[in-house]
Structures are given as structure tokens and as C-alpha cells.
């Protein structure tokens, strides 16, 4: 027996393996690779650099109000330190079920202006609050 052609450096033979057989003649592997890249999850893709743009500061709005309750009488003072006019209303909720609560008429509080709002119940006062609305 001649063992001269059994080394690993033998020339490749058709159907026996080797570098020529490893290269595929069909586009299937390339198509599969492209499909995998295109099907990556969205989070796995790189992002374009975005500058840190801060949103514009919200415009300041709203009068500062102080309320005082003395017996059945309510007084509120509202001062508007901002540029926009604030329309304020005083709301009074009375403690007794038969005592009707009141809502004052809206008062426009112009910039740098202080307004006085009053309200009352027949008996005790349960709750007082001020509502604010931007002028249209």
C-alpha cells in the first residue's frame, strides 16, 4: 500500500470536502445574515446623537392668596406678582346641611394688584378655597 497521498495536504477532491466545498453557491446564507440584521430589536440599534434641549420654562401664573375665617365670615386677599392676569374666585362651603355655600363672582387680578374677596355662611364655615383661571 502506498501511503503517499494520505497526508492532510492532499489536493481537494470533489465531494470530499475542502475549501471549495465550504463556499456556498446559493445566496441563502447572505440572505439569512441580512434578515437577521434587519430583524434586530429596535433597542439594539444605535441611536443618533441628540442634543440635550431643555423644554422652555413654564410661564409663572397664579396669584398668592391668604384666607381668614372669623366665625361665619370669610375674607381672602389675593396678590398677583406675575405678568398674566389671574381671575380668582372665593368658594365657601358651610358646615350645616341647610346652610347654602357660596361662590364669589370672578375677579380679575391684574399684575402687581391685590384684591379682597369676602363670603359668609349663616353658621359655621366648613371649607374655603380659591380657584384660579387665566384670562382669555
**19 in any annotated domain:** no
**92 in any annotated domain:** yes
C-alpha cell at 81: 406678582
**85 in any annotated domain:** yes
**123 in any annotated domain:** yes
pLDDT at 28: 76
**2 in any annotated domain:** no
How many structural domains is the chain composed of? 1
**38 in any annotated domain:** no
pLDDT at 105: 94
pLDDT at 55: 82
pLDDT at 65: 96
Residue 83 to residue 60: CA distance in whole angstroms: 8
pLDDT at 14: 59
pLDDT at 117: 97
Q: Is 108 within 8 Å of 85 (Cβ atoms)?
A: yes
**What CATH number does the domain containing 130 carry?**
2.60.40.10
**70 in any annotated domain:** yes
Polymer length of the chain: 136
What residue numbers bound the domain in which 96 lies?
Answer: 64-134
**41 in any annotated domain:** no
pLDDT at 42: 59
Give φ, ψ of 34 to 5 degrees: -65, -40
Which residue stretches of the chain have pLDDT < 70? 1-25, 39-50
Amino acid at each position: 500500500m502506498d501511503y503517499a497521498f494520505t497526508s492532510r495536504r492532499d489536493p481537494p477532491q470533489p465531494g470530499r470536502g475542502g475549501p471549495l466545498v465550504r463556499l456556498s453557491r446559493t445566496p441563502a446564507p447572505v440572505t439569512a445574515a441580512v434578515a437577521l440584521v434587519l430583524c434586530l430589536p429596535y433597542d439594539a440599534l444605535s441611536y443618533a446623537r441628540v442634543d440635550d434641549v431643555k423644554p422652555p420654562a413654564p410661564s409663572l401664573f397664579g396669584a398668592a392668596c391668604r384666607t381668614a375665617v372669623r366665625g361665619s365670615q370669610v375674607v381672602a386677599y389675593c396678590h398677583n406678582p406675575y405678568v398674566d392676569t389671574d381671575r380668582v374666585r372665593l368658594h365657601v362651603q358651610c358646615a350645616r346641611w341647610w346652610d347654602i355655600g357660596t361662590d364669589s363672582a370672578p375677579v380679575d387680578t391684574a399684575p402687581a394688584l391685590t384684591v379682597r374677596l369676602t363670603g359668609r355662611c349663616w353658621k359655621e364655615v366648613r371649607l374655603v378655597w380659591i380657584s384660579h383661571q387665566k384670562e382669555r
